[in-house]
Amino acid sequence: MDIREQVKENFRFELVHEDKNSKARAGIIHTPHGQIPTPVFMPVGTHGAIKALQPNQLQNLDIPIILSNTYHLHLTPGSELVAKAGGLHKFMAWDRPILTDSGGFQVFSLQGNSITEEGSKFKGPKGQDILLTPETSIGIQQNLGSDIMMAFDECIPYPADKAYTKRSIDRTHRWLDRCIEAWTNSEQALFGIIQGSTYDEYRDECLEEVVKRDLPGYAIGGVSVGEGPELMEKIVKYTGPKMPTDKPRYVMGVGMPEDLFMIWENGIDMSDCIIPTKFARGGTLFTNRGKIRITHKNYRRDFFPIEPNLEDYVNKNFSRAYIKHLFDSNEILGQILATAHNIAFYKSLADRARAAILEDRFLEFKAEFLKGYNKNDGAKKGK
């Protein structure tokens, strides 16, 4: 039996409801490690850990899935070691679903890489030569044992001319076939990635080719790579609703709240980004009224929670003044509490969006939220 047929016994998407006034939808992704209600935002644990948080803290926040990075776990500790430890779930004491990216974004972001038909060659952090191919990417991800693996592709930079884009997507389709050939574990789902830069005809071509492979899920790649919010919205609005309705739809690397509303409105189920955790460690916290810089002097005597409408551990127990004090004192607890808050805020946002979709009031919820949300509030304030 073909691996794509075998995986259907372990992985499926259940469409629960589509909002009557938009393309937003609520669903459930069923995996061997549990269910994932959608829409969902996935915190990024690059090295097999969400920076500053223990796995049980994520479980207490009811985070259903996290993302880890194939390239970084390949460098250290090595996927073979993780496999010997029983897989990434056991290695990091996380019993819920995990998605691993393919390493393709590192091909895009690292300097000095060269792309050939075989794969991508580049320098590692110690100057070592690294070759990442479709086969090695899938092999690493199978060693890690993630529930969702991403196909190895080329993340097309912006801007890219039409000739480059065409060559790139053709190669990405050939690489996808090699990924499928290397895929042997039916407890792991493989998602294909739709590239095409900013060109509608190439997004269409890539979508058609990738969907032909009848994979368990599909992602829009090559956004949030410098093209700006207007072009990103154009790509998602054009491509998202054309993706199969019976499979999960994923937009990679998108993480500002206003951008999440945009992708959800266009029928996207999954997203990830380092923004909430990275911003937290720098003292930028998300609230329903916008971002705040907790190190600003205004918060020295502010005894309110970061977000009074959240009922998580951080907001029930700690004030803005206390968390500012922790950052001022260079106490690591400040980063821990800030990270937990931002992840709780994003989880609440996705939960509220899902509830609104189920009640056919997503657009009303979006308008209400964005009316009170100042995306620039406090983000650039100094001490």
Instruction: Give tens-digit pLDDT for 306-316.
Output: 999 999 999 99
pLDDT in tens, 281-293: 999 999 999 999 9
| 275 and 327 part of one domain | no
Q: Tell whether 378 is covered by a domain.
A: no
Average pLDDT, the chain: 95
- Number of other CB atoms surrounding residue 163 within 10 Å: 8
- Specify the pLDDT at position 158: 93
pTM, to two decimals:
0.96
**Per the residue annotation, which of 101, 153, 269, 312 is the catalytic one?**
101
| CA dist., res. 174 & res. 213, Å (int) | 11
pLDDT at 173 over 70: yes
Q: What DSSP line would sit under 246-307, residue for residue?
A: TS-EEETT---HHHHHHHHHTT--EEEESHHHHHHHTTEEEETTEEEETTSGGGTT--S-SS
At residue 378 the predicted structure's pLDDT band, cuts being 50, 70 and 90, is: low
- Specify the pLDDT at position 372: 96
Q: Which of 28, 92, 30 is nearest to 59 (CA)?
A: 92
| 99 and 224 part of one domain | yes
Query: Collapsing DSSP states into helix, strand and coil, what is residue 22?
Result: coil
Residue 319: Cβ-neighbour burial (10 angstroms; 0-12, 13-18, 19+): middle
Give the pLDDT mean for 44-59.
Answer: 97
pLDDT at 129 over 90: no
**Per the residue annotation, which of 19, 153, 259, 272 is the catalytic one?**
272
Active site residue 272: yes
- Residue 48 has φ and ψ, to the nearest 5°, of 85, 25
Q: Please state the domain count of the chain.
A: 2
- Specify the pLDDT at position 110: 67
- Specify the pLDDT at position 196: 98
- Specify the pLDDT at position 111: 61
CATH number at residue 111: 3.20.20.105
At residue 107 the predicted structure's pLDDT band, cuts being 50, 70 and 90, is: low
| 328 and 250 part of one domain | no
- Specify the pLDDT at position 277: 98
Q: Tell whether 382 is covered by a domain.
A: no
Domain boundary among 239, 262, 279: 279
pLDDT in tens, 24-47: 999 999 999 999 999 999 999 999
- Number of other CB atoms surrounding residue 331 within 10 Å: 13
Give the pLDDT mean for 110-115.
Answer: 74
Q: Tell whether 230 is covered by a domain.
A: yes
Query: Collapsing DSSP states into helix, strand and coil, what is residue 70?
Result: helix
b/e burial code for range 78-91 (CB count within 10 A of at least 16 → b): ebeebbeeebbbeb
pLDDT at 112 over 70: no
Give the pLDDT mean for 84-105.
Answer: 96
Q: Tell whether 188 is covered by a domain.
A: yes
Q: Which residues contact 246 (CB under 8 A, 6 or more apart)?
A: 13, 15
pLDDT at 295 over 80: yes
- Specify the pLDDT at position 382: 44
pLDDT at 376 over 50: yes
pLDDT in tens, 223-235: 999 999 999 999 9
- Specify the pLDDT at position 383: 45
Q: Tell whether 329 is covered by a domain.
A: yes
Which percentage of the chain shows pLDDT scores above 70?
Answer: 97
| 67 and 161 part of one domain | yes
Q: What radius of gyration do the chain's Cα atoms show?
A: 21
Q: What DSSP line would sit under 141-169, residue for residue?
A: HHHHT-SEEE-------SS--HHHHHHHH
Q: Which of 159, 191, 155 is nearest to 172 (CA)?
A: 155
- Specify the pLDDT at position 34: 98
At residue 177 the predicted structure's pLDDT band, cuts being 50, 70 and 90, is: very high
| 160 and 176 part of one domain | yes
CA 289, 275, 145, 132: dihedral to nearest 10 degrees?
A: 160
- In 3-state terms the chain splits into helix, strand, coil percentages (rounded to 5) of 45, 20, 40
Domain boundary among 251, 279, 307: 279
pLDDT in tens, 180-217: 999 999 999 999 999 999 999 999 999 999 999 999 99
Which percentage of the chain shows pLDDT scores above 90?
Answer: 90
Edge to edge, what strands does the sheet with 189-194 contain? 40-43, 270-273, 249-251, 217-220, 189-194, 148-150, 98-101, 66-69
Cβ(235)–Cβ(262) below 8 Å: no
Q: How far apart, in Å, do the first and last CA atoms of the chain sit?
A: 62
b/e burial code for range 93-123 (CB count within 10 A of at least 16 → b): ebebbbbbbbbbbbbbebeeeeeeeebbbbe
The domain containing residue 362 runs over which residues? Answer: 282-372
Q: Which residues is 378 bridged to in the sheet?
A: none
| 78 and 227 part of one domain | yes
